[in-house]
A and B are shown apart, each in its own frame.
Chain A
Amino acid sequence: MNLNYNLFKNLISLTFILLSIIMIPSILVAHYYNEVNVTFSMSIIAVIYFFIGLFINIKSNRKSIKSTIRDGYLTTFFVWLALVFASALPYYFSNSGYYLSDCIFESAAGWSTTGAFVIHADILPKGLLFWKATNNWFGGIGMIMLIISLTPYFNISGQKLIVAEAPGPTLEKMSTKFTGTARYLYFFYLILTLLEFIMLKYGGLSLYDAAINTMSGISTAGIHLNSGGISYNLTTFNKTVVTIFTFLAATNFGIYFFLFKGKFEDILGDLEFRVYILLTLASTIVIYVALINSDEAKYYFEDFLHSISMAISFISTSGYSFTDYSIWPSFAKVILIICMFIGGCSISTAGGIKISRIIVFYKLILRGIYKRIHPRSVKPVSFFKKPISVNNVFTIMVYILLYFVIFLIGSLLLSLDNLSMETTLSATIGAMSNTGLSFGELANVADYSIFSHPARILLSILMIGGRLEFYAIALLFSKHFWNTNIIK
């Protein structure tokens, strides 16, 4: 195994330094709420991380960070591994008696922006909940993306790292340099965050609640503040704000770039954006029809709000439960499940298969039919009038197949816990798509403490896998990856 140690060391050291810096707000929160244990342990951990980072940084060489795609995957994997473990320690040393597996689950759920938990948000110290929300926020776009946006010298390997961390099918170039693209992404992300925060504050939430809801909302994580899910105590105004911003966060950030540059015709012409809006509207309408059919009390307006907010909650894979959907008709539930598989747009904070891939998926089916009628025809798959190269089509094909294979294998392993089929299958997709909220026993509350400890570790892997779109993890199981000289 030969790894590009320069790239690796630089990135790891920056990761630790950043981790210690982003811990500061959580320490302040813990201090404000008089959580002595949490304040103390987190401060010590932050200092240790800072020095670890500094130590590695001194030892590393900044020159020549040229790298291969393989280095990109490997480094991304290790950075995320370090992130998850390093972020789990504040939970573990908070002196609250949590199991290590639970801490890892919480940390993985935080970084992968899955709104799942095993330790109930009500009993989690406020400082730690704030830490989880911080993880959500940084996990939303990706820690590596942040590092690239901050530091100029990753420019050459930046693309490979971005591809490894958030490999959407098309990474539009917003700037000639990848550092520039990453900066734009974080810039839009920051603006959306500020807007949501102001709106929620205006909606009457406390500073702390507004901050947590914003950080977990804009990253499409969806932390549950109360046993019934956040929404039950939110006003309609705040629910609407949260819904609108999760919708915006699951939009391709390229759209904001067009908006920023004033290219409005490009926004309307963007196929993925159009399909995203279409799918959201279509699922809202069919859920609405199903709801008013089964609703005897005829709360037409409430039903509409519920159907649109739940449709967005699932298609953006944030997983807020704005209403008790476990009593909804099966039809509405199946639509939500389909939304969960589809997920948001590429280059957004959402998980799932991603809409641009679903478009290719659908086009491939149509091409299959066409090919049966005209077996000898040559017909490219085109995406917004531009044909996609055969290689790209194959990559997308493989990804979708891999997604379903991992879904089945993950469910098989989870089924060892002997929970019902519905719960097992929906837990897997809930974790993989980073939604958290799911069906069966996971409806309404994404409480994964029904699973055994080994299963919690498996779910953590699935969550992080879903966030990194599997390649960075799945590749480690490939013999080609380890021995680059294998021919067959």
Chain B
Amino acid sequence: MSISKKRIIYLLGALLIVISLSMTPSLIVSLLYDEYHCTKAFLITMIICLLIGILFNRRHTPSISSIKLKDGFMIVTGSWLLASIFGAIPFIISGSITNPVDAFFEACSGFSTTGASILTDIEALPMSMLFWRSFTHWLGGMGIVVFAMALLPKLGISGQLIASAETPGPTLDKITPRFSDTAKNLYRMYILFTISEVILLLIGGLDLFDALVHTFGTVGTGGFSSHSESIAYFNSYYVHWVITIFMIISGTNFNLFYLTLKRGIKKLIKDDEFKFYLRIISLFTMLVTFDLAITKTEVNFLKALTESIFQVSSILTTTGYATADFDIWPTFAKMLLFMLMFVGACSSSTGGGVKIIRILVSFKLIMRGFALKTHENRIINIKVNDQKLQSDTVSNIANFLFFYIFLVFIGTAIISINNYDIMTSFSSVIACLGNIGPGFSMVGPTMNYSIFSNFSKIVLSLLMIAGRLELFTFFILFSKHFRDSNRA
């Protein structure tokens, strides 16, 4: 066995130990609610994970600092797959979800912070299982922060962030001298947001369990709820607005918060991506509100505004919570949400999707195309935050967008084998690839993914992970260049 393989196994072993430990809170919840069959399920899974983890870890401890780029892709994709497989075991052992594919789908949806569910009756699930489901969001959201901020730069993508690996965002070295410090700071931020949302939700009258579950769903931009009606269950403006604000925060570039703390609010306000993000939210909220008001879908203006901003931020940040069944909204409002599904959150946030920065750059690219049509030989640079983008960077962004579009079409074709209507197939793929959760028609906010065949569920699960890992990290493993890196 080569050194790199040993190293991969070693790291995956470490991950299993982490997963095993991360089940502790759920174990405690199961004890508190007297769900002993769940306690048993968690204990068994924890022991399995721990044993395999130690077995993997026992052999040899290679130095992590010398991880190659190629191994990095393997480790990251492997981590998400392993986490989803082992995260599914408690569901199966406790009998909460009997079909293993369903359990895998649910765990994938959790760790990829998608929030798509196959459960027809959420309330029927034991409390501790609900807790575990939402906790995977929190872990997944945190994981993506590590992945984006700490691990990948370490893996050799020299000091750049993975989500914005293609954009000249603030590089890690600029924030703090050492990457582990940056990671720590980002964790602090993540935990700070979590605690403040829990407190605010507790003030809003939620019990601790609901407050925790929905906080995990929000800050991880996941979307699992403990109620079938999602956030609409609480029927309180206060709760809706608190969750809206935290969704928007979680969809923002986490680096910006750190920079803001250090260098003042100016950095935040002047950031091109953040400005574009806020503009999209306000424009789309306004349009949806007017549409709801004019078509008299919602007579109360305040309610229309609350529902619009909630739904717009929920889809844009790829959270996927719902306060209303937007599938019965007028087509114009639905079309606006549909467009947002292609946009996604900011880079280096816990959200998924194409990411605002890429949309911004592609708009600038189109504008440049126009300018070049009038002046053929002119040299025009694309700038973000007053920094010139290299032509390589721009074409990487376009490559990503094309790959995304390509996957949406191919995915739709594969899912349509189930023979549900086109909108169902189409939106389920977009919702999973963009880590959103609810789509339209038969996967709308009041529906779920249980209608699909096992094969489709596996395809959708893989799309969720691929979308979470920015497509290339996942699909690179299937490339012939990956297996033989000398190939031209």
Contact = CB atoms under 8 A, between A and B. Distances in A.
A401 B366 contact: yes
Interface string B399-422: 111110110010011001111111
Nearest to B398: A397
A361 B479 contact: no
Contact of B373 (A69, A341, A405, A416): A69
A398 B368 contact: yes
B373 A373 contact: no
A330 B476 contact: no
A361 B406 CA distance: 9
Interface stretch (B41-49, B106-114, B331-339): B331-339
B476 A415 contact: no
B376 A69 contact: yes
B421 A330 contact: yes
A417 B331 contact: yes
B370 interface: yes
A81 interface: no
A73 B376 CA distance: 13
Given A364-B395, A369-B472, A397 B365 contact: yes
Contact of A422 (B362, B391, B403, B422): B422
B375 A334 contact: no
Nearest to A330: B416
B374 A375 contact: no
A333 to B, nearest CB: 6
B272 to A, nearest CB: 15
Interface stretch (A98-106, A217-225, A230-238, A476-484): A476-484
A474 interface: yes
A405 B366 CA distance: 10
Given A421-B335, A421-B338, A480-B374, A330 B402 contact: no
B420 A330 contact: yes
B241 interface: no
A367 interface: yes
A412 B426 CA distance: 17
A424 interface: yes
A338 B335 contact: no
A420 interface: yes
Interface in A74-106: none
B396 interface: yes
B69 to A, nearest CB: 8
Contact of B391 (A333, A390, A420): A390
A333 B422 contact: yes
Interface string A329-348: 11101110110010000000
Contact of B472 (A337, A368, A481): A368
Contacts of B482: 373
A371 B331 contact: no
A334, A418, A471 — most chain B CB neighbours (10 Å): A334
Nearest to A393: B395
Contacts of B426: 334
B374 A475 contact: yes
A422 B423 contact: yes
Given A370-B481, A372-B476, A401 B374 contact: no
B399 A368 contact: yes
A402 interface: yes
Given A335-B413, A364-B395, A404-B405, A418 B332 contact: yes
A198 interface: no
A393 B422 CA distance: 32
Given A369-B475, A478-B371, A484-B374, A331 B413 contact: yes
Interface in A143-178: none
A329 B391 CA distance: 43
B366 A329 contact: no
Nearest to B73: A372
A471 B419 contact: no
A330 B425 contact: yes
Given A369-B476, A372-B472, A405-B366, A364 B374 contact: no
B440 interface: yes
Interface in B443-473: 472-473
A481 B330 contact: no
A69, A394, A439, A474 — most chain B CB neighbours (10 Å): A394
Given A331-B413, A331-B419, A334-B416, A475 B399 contact: no
B6 interface: no
B342 A439 contact: no
B199 interface: no
Contacts of A399: 369
Nearest to A70: B374
A170 to B, nearest CB: 16
A472 to B, nearest CB: 10
A421 B419 contact: no
A433 to B, nearest CB: 14
Nearest to B411: A334
Interface string B320-343: 000000000011101110110010
Given A368-B396, A421-B338, A330 B418 contact: yes
Contacts of B421: 330, 422
B261 interface: no
Interface in B296-344: 330-332, 334-336, 338-339, 342
A122 to B, nearest CB: 29
A436 to B, nearest CB: 18
B331 A478 contact: no
A480 B416 contact: no
B157 interface: yes
A165 B376 CA distance: 17
A294 to B, nearest CB: 8
A408 interface: yes
Contacts of A373: 69-70, 476, 479, 481-482, 485
A195 interface: no
Nearest to B367: A478
B363 to A, nearest CB: 8
Interface string A396-431: 011111101100100110011111111010000000
Nearest to B331: A415
A365 interface: yes
A478 B374 contact: yes
Given A365-B403, A400-B402, A412 B369 contact: no
A372 B155 CA distance: 12
Contacts of B479: 369-370, 373
Given A333-B416, A415-B331, A418-B332, A401 B409 contact: no
A415 B330 CA distance: 8
A135 B220 CA distance: 56
A73 B396 contact: no
A37 to B, nearest CB: 39
Nearest to B420: A330
Nearest to B488: A379
A429 B420 CA distance: 21
Contact of B402 (A364, A405, A415): A364
Contact of B425 (A334, A338, A361, A398): A334
Contacts of A401: 362, 365-366, 398, 401
A484 B365 CA distance: 18
Contact of B417 (A331, A375, A418): A331
A330 B475 CA distance: 26
Contact of B374 (A69, A361, A391, A398): A69
A375 B157 contact: yes
A391 B485 CA distance: 29
A385 interface: no
Given A402-B366, A412-B335, A422-B422, 7 more contacts: A361-B406, A369-B481, A373-B479, A375-B69, A390-B391, A424-B331, A481-B373
24 contacts: A330-B418, A330-B421, A334-B416, A364-B395, A365-B402, A369-B476, A370-B481, A373-B482, A373-B485, A374-B481, A393-B395, A394-B372, A395-B372, A397-B402, A398-B368, A401-B362, A401-B401, A408-B339, A412-B339, A420-B423, A421-B440, A424-B331, A478-B367, A478-B371
* Top 5 closest pairs, chain A to chain B, by CB: A368-B399, A398-B369, A415-B335, A478-B370, A330-B416
